[in-house]
Amino acid sequence: MSSMTSSSADQQSLQDEIAELERRLRDAKSRLDQQHAPSSSTFDNGAALHALLLLSDSALPLGSFAFSSGLESYLAHHKVSPPSASQLPLFNTFLRLSLSTLASTALPYVLAAYRTPEEIETLDNDFDASTPCTVARRASIAQGRALLAVWDRSFKARYKPSQGDAKEFDSRQVAIDALTSFSAALRTSPHANAHYAPLWGLVTRILAVPLHESAYLFLFSHARTVMSAAVRASVMGPYQAQALLASAELQDRIRALVDEGWERKVEDAGQSVPVMDLWVALNSTTFNLITISAGGNDIGLTPILRNCVYQFYMAGEESCQKSIDEAQEKIANETQLFQNVTRLIEAAKPHLNTTQGLIYVTGYARFFGTGDNTCDNVTWAVWRNIEHTKQYLKLEMRQALNDMVLSVNAVLHRAAQAAGPNVRFIDYDAIIAMLCGRYCELGVQEPDPNRRNLMFYEWDTIDPGENRTSLQNSTGDGVPKGSFEGGIAEQVNKTLQEHPDWTFDKDKGFVKKNETEVGGEGLIEDTIHWLIPDSYKRIFANKPPSSDILVEYGTSITFCCAEQSYMFCKALYFGDAESCKLILTTTDPAEQKAQGKSVKGFNDEEWDVVKSRVARVGNWFKFTNPDNTHMRKVLLGTEDKELAEAVNALVKLLLRKPVDKLYAEQGFKLADLRDRCILKLEELGYQQTHPWWRSINNSIESSFGGLLLALLPNLTDVDFWVKDHQRGPPSSECISGLWGGTSPPPAVLQGWKNVDHLTVGDASLLKCGINFEALTALDLRTISIGTVLRLNGPRSLQGAENVKDLSLSVSIQFADKPLVEKAEIEFGGLLEALACHELKTLKITFINDGYNINDDLTTELNGGYFINQLHSVREALETLLITIETTDDDEELDWLVDLFQHPNCSMGNFVNLKNLVIPQVFLFASLRTDTGNPWVMPPNLEQLDMLWPGELVEDWFEEFVITISDAESKQPRTFSSKLRRITLSCRDTVGFGPAYFVGNVRPVYWDLSTTYGIEVELHDQLNGTRDNMASMYHDEHLDDDMSDSDSDEYDDDDEDANETDDDMPDLQIIEELARVVGPQVAPLSRVGLVTETAVLRFLRECSLNLGTTYHFLAYALGTSHDEIATRVDSLRLAGHVRVADERVYFTSENEELLEEDLN
């Protein structure tokens, strides 16, 4: 008895010792990971800090001081009033826009060059292509070459990577090699430019400056440069500039821009403030923008205003009609008007920047609204108590004048089109109409020149003696009160004083004293411009700044969404040019809305008058745009149904919280919506006693969502969560959150029969009787121990019988076998309750909701046990994905992976499984053991993706190859004969990172690819890269062979002629040699003799998996590269070969090759 007790004690002691060793191993690994993890401090080491200080030195000779980014031009085009006012607000705006532009256009190239230094030549070329502004391009190249000179002359000899840290050495050496190659290419290649942004990223990587600090300093240096220019321009003093540089606002701005652009790809880089390029380019000697407004005087607009509107000569109806007829005659003679405009455009072209300049020819807007006859009794005749017949703004005349405007615009448009690609026509008539900006608009009592939305009448120009008050309306026989009288009388008296031989006839106007006829045409034409005072002409001129805003944006404005269109028109309506620009610089609807809320001069009552029309017209353009045909089809596809009936997809996150206070803070009128929702609820039969009615009355957000769901009867795709708290998990009682009670409304119970894709927080919607007869895809986001505890056995969840695609977010506690067995449940109980008989795809994501990395746990998770819980669906599954939720903290993920200690031995009973994504620890251990790797894969598996593999996976590959090749082996069959692809998905901080597998690539990968047709791919999850392991082995060992052969001498003696097939050199060596010497000289002189069948025959003899290159085909078959390309293209079109990554692969025989095989 004592012996047994002693043995038991020894065994327990041994187990304790093992546990202690394992604990110490985990602690050591944790400390090791902490050593390799990025430091939380700003700088990695003193060297990086020193380099950062060097780069931030304003004395660094980069030539930045010579480039102000267009500040002088911006200040010249934005005059302050009065002139003595400070320009500092203007500068702050410019600096903000300039930084935004740099962050959008250049910062992505800084980040990309730092991360991928080997791409420096491509990045430099792409940056050059995406910088259309000549001045900015010149400055970027000058600064980039200056930075190269600083590196070469100052830093190069003093910044060599230390070999103490192998990883850091490799990283910096790659960057140095890339910079060295680029510098060499710069001397010989005409395409290299040396732009500043990508070179900044490359040099800072070499200097070991952390990437975030590199990006921050890049933007900070730009801000400092612009401020230096501002000091030189006397915008501010040097101390004020330093105060701005030290401000928290600038720090926050730069930090936000770096964070915003951190993940932005160079493909997404683009100008965020288009007008910035214009300010930069205006520093040049030619103009990048010229605007021309012409054509009105050519057809006689002035006589029309004189005779039909103002009646300066007391002209009657016949004079007005005559002016209109003459104008129409000139319009009909399109040739003359066309030639006049063309000559004007040609005269402007010599002053245009020929590479990127534009000339905008502005059209005219129709002056009058023609919606009613309210203006028929309004006259703007200027002479009081004299007119014999007063002219009124009658509907017929307004329509005639509007038609002439459209005709003139058509001629101007043709002239602009014929003038070449640098000339654009601006037609803003539709926008004027949309804003109700014409005279005599529907319901407007004219004249009312001070109404906000009027787009004409530049009221700030006033002639001496003219009344500054609004023009008074006149009806019937009345005339306008004094508004015009003073100015025109003064001009007439001035004219008579200057021409003593003239007199003024009340019927004819100016005549010579000794003649009865009106003075010659020259007389009238010479004086006409001051016979109509400037302010009167401006009554029919576009009102600034709205017209300036429209001209600035060219022939048309393309909006990214309806929100941008609506908010731009709002800013335009109130004449806020700055807000217009800001709204157009962002594609984010939320930001556009925020800018729209800050429009200067906004008046709610005035906007209410036109906002509905703005929305209607904007949507009309949206749905009639030829590029949006798909939207129009969707809209018209609803036919007679209300739009709510046509909605088939809904994605929503709802909170079971009152939102009345939040909405009030945001300025949203919730009370009106709440009242309308209650009325709709009462129509559905829910009265004040029902919990749903009370929930909406209490402004519970989720209850509004419940009403929305009830009003959408044709949903097919539903994705929504209900949360009890915004930071918590989905609610376990979503039904009461949506509909107040324990049951959905009838509209949902029977109305969701067409839902085929459902995403919800938990399984509660499958317990309440909803008819899900079409459901084929189900995503349950929160499956916990409690979820399974509340099940009522097999088939107790309704609606999942036909589900083919099931996604589950599952508590990781289901892999804790002792815990689950103690709760007397199984994860398999959920699958049995769902009863998914048609299931083909199962996706499981483990969520850690029960364990803390800082807890002293002895928990061991059992992956094999969890796999066994899938027994009810294993025979039907074709795709299985099991993963663990990844967060920003990879340390926790690594810790969770280490908790899995009991792998699965066999998945041979998953007989139909073709695709498997699974952590390696579910299949076999991460570290080597004495038990081997007995895991048996599914017999029909085609693709396997192992997550976070360890060193043992390569041992498994070795045994895998031995098992396949040993036909007489008595070992169990552990592989699938259909397996074609294995992916190793790695992370640096979880398991064995990518560096472990690429450090010394084993030949087993080559054997798997060339002999068994199984490709192994290495997937770096953090960097997003994928590499073929066989190709890496091929390149690595081929390079070694070629380097050896370089030292040998090749003897071309007679023995070569006696070579047999067995004596032929290795195919890989020949292929590499062909690439080196080039295929253009055909060694066998068979150009023109090689047939498609010969190419196909040769390809069939090559490896099916590796294929071969065009160069090697040309070399091996003794012909030219061009002939091979022609043959391959023909074979590819016929389906006999495929081409990928510049390699040619055999796929099938042609008829001639088949005949050869038969013979």
pLDDT band (50, 70, 90) for residue 877? very high
244: pLDDT strictly greater than 80: yes
Residues whose CB falls within 8 Å of the CB of residue 625, separated by 6 or more in sequence, listed in order = none
Give φ, ψ of 163 to 5 degrees. -85, 10
Half-sphere exposure of 217 (CA within 13 A, CB side): 21
What average pLDDT does this structure show over 317-342? 82
Residues whose CB falls within 8 Å of the CB of residue 1009, separated by 6 or more in sequence, listed in order = 1015, 1016, 1028, 1029, 1030, 1103, 1105, 1106
DSSP string computed for 971-997: S---S-TT--EEEEEEBTTBSS-HHHH
Residues whose CB falls within 8 Å of the CB of residue 728, separated by 6 or more in sequence, listed in order = none
Of 620, 561, 631, which is closest to residue 589 (Cα–Cα)?
Answer: 561
Share of the chain above pLDDT 70, in %: 72
Among 281, 310, 330, the domain-final residue is 281
Q: Give the Å distances, CA to CA, from 640 to 615, 622, 636, 751.
A: 22, 21, 9, 19
Model pLDDT, residue 38: 36
What average pLDDT does this structure show over 1132-1150? 83
Bridge partners of residue 778, in order along the sequence: 758, 806
806: pLDDT strictly greater than 90: yes
Residue 28, number of CB atoms within 10 A of its CB: 10
Q: Are residues 368 and 386 in the same domain?
A: yes
Q: Are residues 7 and 113 in the same domain?
A: no
Residues whose CB falls within 8 Å of the CB of residue 962, separated by 6 or more in sequence, listed in order = 969
CA atoms of 480 and 450, how far apart (whole Å): 16
Q: Are residues 567 and 624 in the same domain?
A: yes
CB distance 772 to 798 below 8 Å:
yes
406: in domain: yes
What pLDDT digit, counting tens, does each position of 1014-1054 carry?
A: 889 999 988 888 888 888 887 776 545 444 444 443 344 44
Q: Are residues 473 and 574 in the same domain?
A: no
Give the least confident one: 848-862, 868-882, 943-957.
848-862
pLDDT band (50, 70, 90) for residue 603? confident
66: pLDDT strictly greater than 70: no
Model pLDDT, residue 1043: 44
1149: pLDDT strictly greater than 70: yes
890: in domain: no
Q: Which one-letter DSSP state was computed for residue 1080?
A: S
Amino acid identity, position 570: K
What pLDDT digit, counting tens, does each position of 358-404 carry?
A: 788 888 888 888 888 888 877 776 654 454 567 788 888 889 888 88
Torsion of CA 1128, 1133, 1135, 1137, to 10 degrees: 20
Amino acid identity, position 1061: D
Mean pLDDT of the chain: 75
CB distance 471 to 457 below 8 Å:
no
What average pLDDT does this structure show over 814-831? 89
- Residue 930 is encoded by which pair of tokens? 């004495």
795: pLDDT strictly greater than 80: yes
1138: in domain: yes
Handedness of CA 963, 968, 970, 973 (dihedral sign): positive
Q: Are residues 327 and 378 in the same domain?
A: yes
Q: Are residues 10 and 159 in the same domain?
A: no
1087: in domain: yes
815: in domain: no
Q: Are residues 77 and 184 in the same domain?
A: yes
Question: Residues 39-63, buried b or exposed e (16+ Cβ, 10 A)?
Answer: eeeebeeeebbebbebbeeeeeebe
Of 1034, 162, 93, 205, which is closest to residue 579 (Cα–Cα)?
Answer: 93
Q: How many domains does the chain have?
A: 6
Share of the chain above pLDDT 90, in %: 10
Distance, CA of 684 to chain centre? 42
What pLDDT digit, counting tens, does each position of 919-963 carry?
A: 988 887 655 554 445 677 888 999 999 998 888 888 888 776 665
What average pLDDT does this structure show over 191-199? 86
524: in domain: yes
CB distance 121 to 185 below 8 Å:
yes
Q: Give the Å distances, CA to CA, from 1067 to 572, 1045, 1063, 1113, 1132.
A: 71, 14, 12, 11, 24
Of 452, 691, 482, which is closest to residue 571 (Cα–Cα)?
Answer: 452
Per DSSP, the three-state class of 1021 is: coil
Q: What is the CA radius of gyration of the chain?
A: 40
40: pLDDT strictly greater than 80: no
Q: Which one-letter DSSP state was computed for residue 1136?
A: S
DSSP string computed for 125-150: HHHHHT---HHHHHHHHHHHHHHHHH
103: in domain: yes
What pLDDT digit, counting tens, does each position of 906-920 carry?
A: 788 899 999 999 998
Give the domain range for residue 616: 559-636
Query: Three-state SS across 597-655?
Result: HCCCCCCHHHHHHHHHHHHHHHHHHHHHCHHHHHHHHHHHCCCCCCHHHHCCEEEEEEE
Distance, CA of 462 to chain centre? 49
Half-sphere exposure of 486 (CA within 13 A, CB side): 12
Of 612, 613, 569, which is closest to residue 592 (Cα–Cα)?
Answer: 569
Among 246, 281, 316, the domain-final residue is 281
Model pLDDT, residue 254: 92
Q: Are strands 981-986 and 943-947 parallel, antiparallel or unpaired?
A: parallel
147: pLDDT strictly greater than 90: no
Q: Are residues 375 and 265 in the same domain?
A: no
Q: Are strands 1143-1146 and 1137-1140 parallel, antiparallel or unpaired?
A: antiparallel
pLDDT band (50, 70, 90) for residue 777? very high
985: pLDDT strictly greater than 50: yes
Q: Are residues 264 and 165 in the same domain?
A: yes
What pLDDT digit, counting tens, does each position of 222-238 carry?
A: 888 888 878 766 777 77
Q: Are residues 431 and 487 in the same domain?
A: yes
Of 1089 and 712, more confident: 712
Q: Are residues 191 and 325 in the same domain?
A: no
CA atoms of 175 and 165, how far apart (whole Å): 16
Q: Are residues 604 and 717 in the same domain?
A: no
Model pLDDT, residue 21: 75
What average pLDDT does this structure show over 258-275? 78
pLDDT band (50, 70, 90) for residue 577? confident
304: in domain: yes
Model pLDDT, residue 518: 42
Strands (E), 619-755: 649-655, 717-723
Of 771 and 526, more confident: 771
What average pLDDT does this structure show over 193-197? 88
Give the CATH number of the domain where residue 145 resides.
1.10.4190.10
Among 720, 748, 775, the domain-final residue is 775
pLDDT band (50, 70, 90) for residue 84? low
Give the CATH number of the domain where residue 357 resides.
3.40.50
